[in-house]
Each structure stands twice: as C-alpha cells, then as structure tokens.
C-alpha cells in the first residue's frame, strides 16, 4: 500500500514549521519511504513571540492561539501544495504541533495547532494530538520518533537527534530504548543571539571559546541527568534553568557556547555508557540542526571513540526533515489503526495507537 503524506513538525528550537511531502509504502510488513519535497517555513516575529510566551497566556488567549496556529499551518500547507503542484495527491497530514506544556508526572501534554482548524483549512484528513494516548497510559509521551527509526531506518543501531532538545534512541534486541538527553540548540541559539546571530554556524564561535570548568560542573550536576529512563524534558529546562546559569556568569559568549557544546557532548557520551553496549562497534545516525554544527560533532566523536561508536551524518533531507517524516508515518499508522507509539520507549503500560483524527474531506 502506498501513502502520500505530509508531515508537519514545529520543534522546540523554533526555527520554523517543517513540512515534508513523503511517499510511504508498506509491502508485506516492510516499510520504505522517500521525502519528495520539503521546506522549513520560518516563523514571523509575531509567531516567535507568541510561541515563546505561550505558557504565560491566559486560557482564552491560549485557546485562540491554539486555533490560530492550526489555521496558519493550514495556510502554509496550502501554499506548499500549490508550489509543488500536489493538488489531490495528499492522502493525509500528520501534525505534531508545537509543544506548550509537557508534564508526564501529571499525564498532561499540550501541543498547540488545532487539528480541526488545519483540516478545515486544507480539506485534507489530519492526525494530531500524537502524544496524548501514551500519556494517558502512564508514558512520557516522548520520544515518539523511534517508531520511524524501527520501521524506516533498520540499518543503524543508534539515533541521535540534536534539535532544541537532544534525544537518543537505541535498538536493544527487538525493543527500542529512547529518551531526552539534554537541552541543545534552544540554548545555543539563545546565546548566539547575543552576538546578533540566529545560530552559531558550524560552531565557529564555540570553537574560538574556552570551557568554563565551574559552569560545566554545575550544568552536569543537574538532577535530570541522574534519572533513569524512560524520561523526557520540558522546554523550560533549557530556557529557565540552563540558560540563566550560562547568562549569569562573567565570561564571553564564545566561552559560554564552548561550555554548552561540551556539556551536550559529555551528556550524550554518558548516556551511551549507561546503555552499555559492551563496546560493540556501532553507528550513530545524527540528525536535526545540530548535525551541521561541526564543532559539536567533533567533540561528540572524541567522546564516543571510547565506546567504539562512529557518528554518521545522513543526507540533508533526512538531517532536516526526519521528524516531519516520522509524523507522516505516525499518521499513516493511525489511519491503519496500527500501533504508532512504543511503550519500551515511553514507559507506558502498553504500546498504543495515538492521534486524534480530523476528517478534512467528506
């Protein structure tokens, strides 16, 4: 069976809305994919401000933002369809939305971007609210991308995504273990803004800095890093805990970027050690914006050499749109009423079929 699907992803780094038109095919239980067209639609300053302050909005304003963001995503999808002449070719849309609240301890997660508004705007069936069912079953609702790694990327053993938050997944026999490691680009990008840069290209500024040992020790001592998995991070860990630690120290921005980069590399290596692969040679596929940060990748590889792990960087479409591809696959599985969230990853009581379905056409 062949599905033409659009996947939508708005990550914690707030780069913009990722849109990927994917061809996903299932034959005899084997899945294949291709990313035919993809784009990242930058957020306007107005939307950046709304998303950055979403947790401070009162309920009526919050709900209006939720609806408006769904409608806005629909407008972007319509423009994308027009640009690539995809009229009447899209079977379904899988939309992650933008995470506003994430409280696993209370079984609560909220991704804004109303699925009904998106379906109404596009006239295409939409699957949204992808994490809610897993949370209701006692899971962390995250990560949810590993289902795509299991079905679409069978060759690699380790997967690292470096976006606003850095997360990892690993094959353990027939199970996949996955969890959030630490804040990443959301913090690095905020520091880069102090240099009037949207991001530190190739990690060049960090490369010219020096590690701040006391700050690095403070960052590495955060309680989250000693928690056992499954576990997941809220965006606020980066913006309200780690970023202030870095901003309040009397040092250059380059030193702060260098220290944060080292922190990310060290935490990834620490978690790889805890996963304990008995020093078996493995490949780690790295995706997300951080895959372009050559200094971070160098520091990461330096640490991973001790564990016989080789970093692999895939092609640009996979680097940039793997998560949007995953949302497309999750939507297909929801449409087929097949499991699309893995309990071995999230800690839920069972695997689940997640996602609310909104019928955009009759």
Q: Domains of the chain (ranges plus CATH)?
A: 2-142+323-358 (3.30.420.40), 147-317 (3.30.420.40)
Q: How far apart, in whole angstroms, are the C-alpha atoms of residue 11 and residue 70?
A: 15
Q: How far apart, in whole angstroms, are the C-alpha atoms of residue 174 and residue 40?
A: 34
> What is the model's pLDDT at position 217?
96
> What is the model's pLDDT at position 12?
67
> What is the model's pLDDT at position 275?
78
**Among candidates 90, 93, 54, 87, which has minimal Cα distance to 74?**
93
**Among candidates 85, 68, 69, 73, which has minimal Cα distance to 4?**
85
> What is the model's pLDDT at position 13?
66
Global pTM value: 0.81
Which neighbouring-strand residues pair with 24?
A: 3, 33
Element at 135 (helix H, strand E): helix 132-136
Q: How far apart, in whole angstroms, are the C-alpha atoms of residue 51 and residue 252?
A: 28
Backbone dihedral region for residue 25 (phi beyond 0: left; psi -120 to 50: alpha; all else: beta): beta
**Can you read off the two tokens belonging to residue 211?**
């590690």
Location of structure tokens 């992803």:
9
Contacts of 139 (CB under 8 A, 6+ apart): 104, 230, 341, 343, 346, 347, 348, 349, 352
Q: Are 18 and 38 spatial neighbours (Cβ–Cβ below 8 Å)?
A: yes
Please list the rounded mean pLDDT of every run of 10 residues in the chain (362 residues): 96 83 95 96 92 90 96 98 96 95 87 96 97 94 87 84 90 77 94 94 97 96 88 80 94 97 96 73 89 97 92 93 95 97 90 96 73
> What is the model's pLDDT at position 91?
96
């Amino acid at each position: 069976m062949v599905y033409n699907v659009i996947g939508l992803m708005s990550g914690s780094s707030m780069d913009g809305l990722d849109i990927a038109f994917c061809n996903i095919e299932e034959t005899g239980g084997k899945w294949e994919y291709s990313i035919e067209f993809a784009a990242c639609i930058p957020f306007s300053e107005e939307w950046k401000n709304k998303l950055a302050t979403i947790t401070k909005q009162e309920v009526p304003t919050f709900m209006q933002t939720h609806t408006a963001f769904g409608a806005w995503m629909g407008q972007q999808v319509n423009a994308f369809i027009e640009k690539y002449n995809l009229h009447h070719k899209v079977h379904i849309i899988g939309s992650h939305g933008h995470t506003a609240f994430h409280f696993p301890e209370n079984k609560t997660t909220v991704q804004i971007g109303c699925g009904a508004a998106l379906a109404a705007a596009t006239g295409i069936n939409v699957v949204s609210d992808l994490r809610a069912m897993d949370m209701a079953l006692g899971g962390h609702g995250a990560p949810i991308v590993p289902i795509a790694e299991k079905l679409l990327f069978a060759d690699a053993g380790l997967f690292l995504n470096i976006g606003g938050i850095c997360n990892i997944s690993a094959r353990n026999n027939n199970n996949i273990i996955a969890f959030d490691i630490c804040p990443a680009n959301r913090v690095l990008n905020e520091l880069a803004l102090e240099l009037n840069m949207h991001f530190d290209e190739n990690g060049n500024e960090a490369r010219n800095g020096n590690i701040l040992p006391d700050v690095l020790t403070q960052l590495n001592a955060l309680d989250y890093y000693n928690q056992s998995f499954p576990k997941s991070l809220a965006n606020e860990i980066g913006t309200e805990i780690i970023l202030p630690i870095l901003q309040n120290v009397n040092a250059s921005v380059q030193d702060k970027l260098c220290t944060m980069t080292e922190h990310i590399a060290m935490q990834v290596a620490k978690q790889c050690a805890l996963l304990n692969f008995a020093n078996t040679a493995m490949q780690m596929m790295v995706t997300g914006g951080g895959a372009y940060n050559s200094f971070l990748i160098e520091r990461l590889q330096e640490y991973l050499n001790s564990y016989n792990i080789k970093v692999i960087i895939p092609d640009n479409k996979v680097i940039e749109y793997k998560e949007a591809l995953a949302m497309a696959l999750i939507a297909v599985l929801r449409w087929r009423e097949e499991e699309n969230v893995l309990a071995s990853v999230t800690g839920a009581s069972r695997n689940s079929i997640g996602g609310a379905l909104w019928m955009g056409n009759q």
